[in-house]
Amino acid sequence: MEFEDCYRQGQRPKYECLLFDLDDTLYPLSSGIATACLQNIKDYMVEKLGIDKSKIPDLCNLLYKNYGTTMAGLRAIGYDFDYDEYHSFVHGRLPYENLKPDPVLRSRLLSLPYRKVIFTNADGVHAAKVLHRLGLEDCFEGIICFETLNPIHKSAVSDDEDDIEFVGLNNTFDAASADVPSTNTSSNSDIFDIIGYFAQPNLGLALPKSPIVCKPSEDAIEKALKIANINAQRTLFFEDSVRNIQAGKRVGLHTVLVGNSQRVKGADYALESIHNIREAIPELLEAEMKSEVAYSGKVAVETSVTA
């Protein structure tokens, strides 16, 4: 009995979960989705929020750098708007036709004996569309998305976690059914001048916080892990964003930078493409080899594996 217990412990894989970012991670940056998304965000800021077009480049840059997403930054500096309307405008016009089924990635994902979960800052409708276009909708246990971490439209920062839930892929997203008031108006006097703040820093003035929870906030990552019941120490986190990788590392995740073969600080591994997932991470291949070991209760017989 002791031998069997020791054997089982020896067979226990290093990882139990693979946590994947979505955009520019499961498909390449060259798809043009990110470029189109950025343009849609800029158009929304001008058309829906009335922001001066000349300020958009600097404003987008500062909001993204300081808040993780432009959306979170807009809410932080005082703009209020309907989240579903924002996502519909920004994602609804994306060139999803650029995304094609990826049978190679599908096969590799299905061959790996781990929990597989999506963790994206995007909304659930967008995530479902992307996975459907890639032919990967049945490869993942569930999706941690914008609605997961931001289930209600908060007017201020709070720690209230009521109604937060893990979205399984068998759940149907109906963004239009969300009972959230449309609030796209903000008085200019209520808007924090972040461009002016960085042009002439005031040491006595702090940047306002955002009510939106998203990566690369360590709090967002920890909440996501808790919601999906994921053990950080036994999870591989795949991301194209260096700062998200570094935040994941700080909360205890094993990290894989995707889209770049050069490792950076905070990344345990680096993959030029997500297609290299099995070949580039020895532990995954080792787990597959161990899973092919036939155990009779007395003798372990390993089948031949070509790697």
CA distances from residue 155 to 81, 94, 152, 181, 212 in whole angstroms, order as listed? 10, 28, 9, 11, 9
CA distances from residue 104 to 73, 101, 240 in whole angstroms, order as listed? 37, 9, 19
Per-residue pLDDT, averaged over 258-282, amounts to 92
Q: For 144-155, what is each residue's pLDDT tens digit?
A: 999 999 998 766
- Across the beta sheet with 167-168, the strand order is 167-168, 142-144, 115-119, 17-20, 235-239, 254-258, 269-271
pLDDT (0 to 100) of residue 166 = 56
Q: For 231-249, what is each residue's pLDDT tens digit?
A: 999 999 999 999 999 999 9
Contact, 166 vs 223, CB < 8 A? no
Q: For 73-105, what is each residue's pLDDT tens digit?
A: 999 999 999 999 999 999 999 999 999 999 999
For the ranges 90-99, 112-121, 126-135, 179-188, the lowest mean pLDDT is seen at: 179-188
CA distances from residue 39 to 67, 70, 91 in whole angstroms, order as listed? 19, 12, 11
Task: Give the whole-angstrom CA distance, residue 258 versus residue 180.
Answer: 35
Q: For 200-222, what is each residue's pLDDT tens digit?
A: 877 778 999 999 999 999 999 99
Q: Is the dihedral of CA 148, 150, 153, 159 positive or negative?
A: positive
pLDDT (0 to 100) of residue 40 = 98
pLDDT (0 to 100) of residue 47 = 98
Domain boundaries, the chain: 2-294
Task: Give the whole-angstrom CA distance, residue 117 versus residue 249.
Answer: 17
pLDDT (0 to 100) of residue 280 = 75
Mean confidence (pLDDT) of the chain: 85
pLDDT grade, residue 7 (50/70/90)? Answer: very low
Contact, 267 vs 253, CB < 8 A? no
Query: Which is the CATH superfamily of the domain at 2-294?
Result: HAD superfamily/HAD-like (3.40.50.1000)
- Kindly provide the residue ranges of all beta strands, DSSP E only, lying in the chain, ordered along the sequence: 17-20, 115-119, 142-144, 167-168, 235-239, 254-258, 269-271, 293-295, 300-302
Residues 6 or more apart from 177 whose CB is under 8 A from it? none
